Structure 1
Amino acid sequence: MARLRFSIFFSVFVAMVGLMIIAPVMPPLIRELGLSETHSGLIISLGSVAMAVMAPVWGSRSDAIGRKPVILIGFLGMFASYVLFTATMYAGLKQLVSGSLLVVLLIAARASVGLFIPAVPSSAQAYMADVTDERGRSAGMALIGAANGLGLVLGPAIAGAFALIGLIWPLYIGAVLPLAAFFVVLLLIPAQKPIIQAKPPKVNPFQKGVRLYLFAGLATMLSIITLQVVGGFYFQDQLSLTTKETARMVSFGLMFSGVAMIVTQGLQMKKPKWQPKALIVAGALLMMISMMLFLFVIGLIGFYSAFFLFGVGAGLMMPGFMTGASLAVSREQQGGVAGLVASVQGISAVIAPILSTTLYQADKHLPFAVVGAFVLIMAITLLTVKSHGAASTKAAEKSV
């Protein structure tokens, strides 16, 4: 069991690093290529659209052909996509390709990365649901949340370290890691029969129980991405920092959030006492407090405290919505619901950058105010609507 858990953790970690390692080097690379910020936005956004579209597809395929084959396909696809993306970027830097053709090739390669990445977390989450019972589900999902959090922290750090050698070096690492993960999964994860033998029962994102936890997932991911996207602008404007001071401050802040997220989920793995709804509501409360600190306490200590509380809140909410969604469906639908959870992350990555920057241009306080209000609405909705968790699962299993 320990070997299986490590494999699932490592798989999700590599997928998240693969997603995050591009972000820090994209702006300087785009400028080296002579392209504009708009091109950068197109390349990243269309990759996120591919993630949102393909995540439910991969989740359902894992129900039909097994978790391990889909994870292996995902890593092979990530490897091939990163090779294509890196080769295109290299050709652009060497001026072998330029102009519209370069932009089209970069968009296609980045979309290909987005196409294969969700195969891993959706299948890994479904696999964790397969090997845990209702009482251990929260701890299992906390492990996946910790892998996400670690990848969120180390992805940019790895990129920054290898960028010291050369701007394109993080992309080389992005190609090597999926290949290494492929062999880890191939050797350590045991073969498993498909969960279903006939056509997979579809999971409706608007069905009772599921929609509440997808709503919670959307609130969580929109909050995380909004902080990443506009945080640097906000803190520079609020504290009158230089660009170097801003980069250092935001890096430390995101590190505090990531560490808080990992520690919180580690504790949840050891003592999984809280139910999904309680985890989400407690996390939402801490996240709203962090938004208040960002808005009303101007100073480094206040901002760092807000980053830490934000990480604790996100660390509670992530396993909460993943566990709740998993318990709301039958065993045969675990891949489908895991795919929907991964799709929510992709949708958030499309919406949040556009929405948060637009709001920031109107008023620098608006992104944090809107995020706080959205989280509040989600928490109130969750408290007022009757839960359809484990009981729904049991009923569904009896009807099969």
Structure 2
Amino acid sequence: MEKKKALPILFAVMFLVMSGFGVIIPVIPFYAEEIGATPSQLGLLMAVYSLMQFIFAPLWGRVSDRYGRKPVMLIGILGLSLSFFLMALSSELWMLFVARIIGGTLSAANMPTAMAYVADITTEEDRAKGMGMIGAATGLGFIFGPAIGGVFSQASLSTPFYVAGTLSLITSLFVLFVLKESLPATGTGEGRERPSFWEAFKGTTSILFILNLCVSLSLAGLEATFAYFAFQKAGLQPTELGIIFMIMGFGSALVQGGLVGRLSKKYGEGAVIQGGIIVSVIGMGLILTLDNFLTAAIFLTIFGMGNGAIRPAVSSLLTKSAKGAHGNITGLLSSFDSLGRILGPPLGGLLFTVSIGFPYISGMILSVCALLLFQVYRMKAPGKKSFEA
């Protein structure tokens, strides 16, 4: 398969994967409640998934460096499918927890392997474009998936889980028969260079991981509290919030799929990272002033477009320093994303109880910290084309 044809196929795979994941999002709180989960237990049910991804994403990325991207991606997608079917069949709360643990452990293979696949098949010049397409596929999946889940939930609360499991099975067949391995045959197995696990997290690259954690924390804190904030500030209802997040998702996908690659090629990933952080800070500051549906949609979309530009550019920079072991470094990056999703919601909720604006003020502070971290990174790794503005 020509490399230029592989990227659209991978885009389709990740869109289907994330659509399947998104199907259960609007249903799982009600499904868990029906089984008997309390709000605190629901929080743990959501957190345990991110915890497993935090632990296992680096391991799967490293496995994909040795044995290839395709088999690891198949494990991740089939694991996701298994977890959905187990959830659909759950009649006790502990069964839901088991399903989420299995899902988090196995599906942790998907994102780092997809990013490593992109790094394998793209030149350094086009790397950010490829990473942006994966981000766009993820964002679009999270838009269409919940809408599908909402429709099928009318039949029963378990039906969306069966739909998600079936969609994941279909996706695994697509991967098996259409997607080609991105590593050459001589690049897998014992002969492949395998740096030590934490080798990726040392020197100047460690700054980019911490920068990404700051960005992930600010996003997770916003997502956890925005519904309450928008209701208190503008009386927005769940249906309106769903539309607002859909608009934000489209804006973010547009930036990742259409602009990140072009801007990175012209100005360098460094300029895109800095610009994305600045735009997200502006958006978060504007969110503090929202007072109706229109301003909420505009301000949240501004934030989403800025935030969406950062991750693909960071991924591109990191994989350029990976010396071929792309899975090792993308696995660690995914792990830091998961850490942000674990810590961000409780931190945002705690700050919200103090003052409804604090999660957004703290998000702005975290983003400024990320900007300062990038300046440190830039000084420690001077002269790279990726920093040109």
- TM-score, with length taken from structure 2: 0.90
1:253 aligns with 2:248: no
Structure 2 distance, partners of 1:270, 1:15, is: 23
Matched, 1:182 2:172: yes
Deviation of 1:161 after TM superposition, in Å, equals: 2.1
Residues in 1 aligned to 2:171 and 2:111: alpha-carbon distance in whole angstroms? 13
Task: Tell me, yes or no, if the aligned pair for 1:78 and 1:175 is still in contact at 8 Å.
Answer: yes
CA contact (8 A) 1:82 1:171 kept: yes
Look up the equivalent residue of 1:86 and give its one-letter code. Answer: A
Residue equivalent to 2:16: 14
1:299 aligns with 2:292: yes
The answer as to 2:161 corresponding to 1:167 is no
Aligned residues: 376
Residues 215-230 of structure 1 mapped to structure 2, 5 A cutoff: 215-230=210-225
Deviations 1:178-204 (A, max 9, x none): 111111111112234245625621343
Q: 1:358 aligns with which of 339, 350, 354?
A: 350
> In the alignment, residue 107 of structure 1 is paired with which amino acid?
F
CA distance in 2, matches of 1:29, 1:180: 24
Post-superposition offset of 1:259 = 0.7
Instruction: Report the Cα distance in structure 1 between the residues aligned to 2:382 and 2:85, rounded to whole angstroms.
Output: 42
Q: Within 5 Å, give how 1:1-400 maps onto structure 2.
A: 1-88=3-90, 92=91, 102-191=92-181, 192=183, 193=185, 194-195=187-188, 197-198=191-192, 200-202=194-196, 203-204=198-199, 206-239=201-234, 241=235, 245-268=236-259, 271=262, 272-331=265-324, 333-385=325-377, 386=379, 388=381
Change in Cα spacing, 1:182 to 1:165, as seen in structure 2 (3 Å) is same
The whole-number CA distance in structure 1 between the counterparts of 2:24 and 2:267 is: 36
CA contact under 8 A between 1:21 and 1:155: conserved in structure 2? Answer: yes
Cα distance per residue 1:52-107 (max 9 Å; x no partner): 1110000000000011111111122222222222111xxx2xxxxxxxxx222211
CA distance in 1, matches of 2:123, 2:380: 18
Q: Distance in 2 between matches of 1:270 and 1:340?
A: 23
Identify if the C-alpha distance between structure 1 residues 206 and 87 changes in structure 2 by more than 3 Å, giving closer, same or farther: same
Equivalent pair of 1:205/1:214 in contact (CA under 8 Å): no
State the SS of the aligned residue for 2:125.
coil
**1:390 Cα shift?**
9.7
Contact kept? 1:45, 1:350, Cα under 8 Å: yes
Residue 237 of structure 1 aligns with an amino acid whose one-letter code is Q
Residue type of the partner of 2:201? F
- SS state at 1:24 partner: coil
Give the Å deviation of 1:4: 1.3
- Aligned partner letter, 1:188: V
Instruction: Write the distance in 2 (CA, Å) between the matches of 1:12 and 1:224.
Output: 21
In structure 1, C-alpha distance between the alignment counterparts of 2:361 and 2:168, rounded to whole Å: 38
User: Helix, strand or coil: the match of 2:26?
Assistant: helix
- SS of equivalent to 1:35: coil
In structure 1, how many angstroms separate the alpha carbons of the residues matched to 2:16 and 2:382?
30
Instruction: Describe the shift of the 1:392–1:46 C-alpha distance in structure 2 as closer, same or farther (beyond 3 A).
Output: farther
CA contact (8 A) 1:56 1:342 kept: yes
1:25 Cα shift? 1.0
CA root-mean-square deviation: 2.2
Judged with a 3 Å threshold, the aligned counterparts in structure 2 of structure 1 residues 208 and 293 are, in CA distance, closer, same or farther, namely same
Q: Give 5+ residue unaligned stretches, structure 2.
A: none
1:188-247 deviation line (CA, Å, top 9, x unaligned) = 1223424562562134353123222222322332233222211100011112x2xxx421
| Secondary structure of residue in 2 paired with 1:135 | helix
C-alpha contact (below 8 Å) 1:329/1:392 kept by paired residues: no
C-alpha contact 1:39 1:103 (8 A) present in aligned 2 = no
1:250 partner amino acid: L
- Call closer, same or farther: CA 1:165–1:84 in 2, change over 3 Å: same
Question: Hey, what's the Cα distance between the residues in 2 that align with 1:84 and 1:313?
Answer: 37
Aligned residue number for residue 398 of structure 1: none
Structure 1 unmatched runs, 5+: 93-101, 394-400
Q: What is the rounded CA distance, in whole Å, between the counterparts of 2:192 and 2:4 in structure 1?
A: 31
- Specify the SS of the correspondent of 1:15: helix
> Deviation at 1:265?
1.7
Contact 1:125–1:338 (Cα < 8 Å) also in 2: yes
TM-score, normalisation: structure 1: 0.88
Sequence identity percentage: 26
Match of 2:322, SS? coil
